[in-house]
Every structure is written in C-alpha cells, then in structure tokens.
Amino acid sequence: MKITNLISHTRKAAMIATITGVTAAGALGAASTVLPTQSVQAASNSSASEASYQRNLAIKNLNSFYKPALKGQFPGNVQEFAIGKTKRADVMKRFSSADVPRTSATGFDAYTATMGSPGYSFRYTNDVLSEIRYFGTNVERQTNIGGITMQLLRQQWYAPSSTSTITTGKQKQTKVTYNRGDYKLEFIFNTGTDLDHINLVKK
C-alpha cells in the first residue's frame, strides 16, 4: 500500500512538473512574440517621426525663398545679392573666385556645395547679376532641397504660374515657375521627387 502511494505521489509530481514546464514555455513564447512586435512598433514610430521632421525642415526651407524673391533675392548666405543690381565683382569679393568659372560673358560662375554650405551658380549681363541658381547642400540633403517635391511645392504654394518641359542634352526636366513681383522662381525637377535646383530671374 505504501509502495502504491509512493508511485501515485511520484506520478502526480511528474505531472505537475510537466504542466508547469509547459506553462513556463508558453509564457516564454508569448513574451518572445510580444517583444518583436513592440520593437517593430517603436521603429515605425521613430521612422514616422524622422519623416515628419525632415518634411517640416523641407517646408521651412522652401518657404524661405518666398518673400526674398519679391526683391530679386535669395535667402541665406547670398541674401545681400540682388538681380539687376549686384555686380560680379561684389560676388567675387564675397565668395572669391568661382570653383568653375564661366567660359563666356553669358555663362555661369559655379560655386560647389561644401560641408554645411549650399552650391550656387551666378550669371551676369554686362557683369551685373541676372540669374542665381541654388543647388542646395550635399549633407543632409533630404532636409534641404532634396525634401522639396512637386507635390509638396503645390501643397504649400498652390498652382504655379506655368509648367514646362526643358531639355538639356539628353536629359528632360520639368520647370515649375512661380511669379514673384518682377521676378520668377523656377523649380527645376529631374523627377517629381528629385528637385535639381532653383532659379531666380527677372520676368
């Protein structure tokens, strides 16, 4: 009788150990399925936050061109230059010699983008500034000119004054123009999401 009770007790202990093990394994499995889900959610939230941050900076950068254009000017470190007023000598005094000098009287003096500084090209008529091209920065481009898409531009500034297709060699680009007083801001897109540069010219 005692032996029977001992066997029964042993079987019960084994059953309890088995059930407990299964429960623990189940709990561990549940935990392992929750953790990756939480990680994915956190990564998703972080990605959405970063995208929102970049979009807001792109909007801020875009809108910085709106008011200065009325005076024939660009914002930033060229804001003292004005279309039809600034002389080539003044630009060269400010920036020194161009990285890629013009090859004709109607050509562009190009200044390439450096760490934290955008790239520009300047064209002159009789050595007086007639066009500025803004190429944006190379570093963190997505928060700068790279974040300005056709869709974003239309959302912020509504319908453009004109839209046309231009061809440079084999490359086709879309020029989206907004009239700003006596001047024009021209957004030159390679694709709907790839803004190449922004022009400022007299109308």
The pLDDT assigned to 36 comes to 66
pLDDT (mean) for 86-107 = 95
| pLDDT reading at 64 higher than 70 | yes
Query: Residue 49 is which amino acid?
Result: S
pLDDT beyond 50 at 145: yes
User: pLDDT grade, residue 24 (50/70/90)?
Assistant: very low
Higher pLDDT, 113 or 41: 113
Name which CATH class applies to 64-202: alpha beta
Which of 13-22, 140-149, 184-193 is modeled with the greatest confidence? 184-193
Question: Who contacts 28 (Cβ-Cβ below 8 Å, separation ≥6)?
Answer: none
For residue range 115-136, what is the model confidence (pLDDT) as tens digits? Answer: 778 999 999 999 999 999 999 9
Write the pLDDT tens digit of every residue in 72-83: 999 999 999 999
pLDDT number for residue 35:
57
pTM as predicted: 0.78
How many CB atoms sit inside 10 A of residue 65's CB? Answer: 21
Query: Are 110 and 100 a contacting pair, CB within 8 Å?
Result: yes
Residues in CB range of 65: below 8 A, 6 or more apart: 74, 75, 134, 185, 198
**pLDDT given at position 43:** 66
Q: Are 130 and 124 in contact (CB under 8 A)?
A: yes
Domain ranges (residues) in the chain: 1-63, 64-202
Contact predicate 166/177, CB 8 Å: no
Q: What is the mean pLDDT of the chain?
A: 84
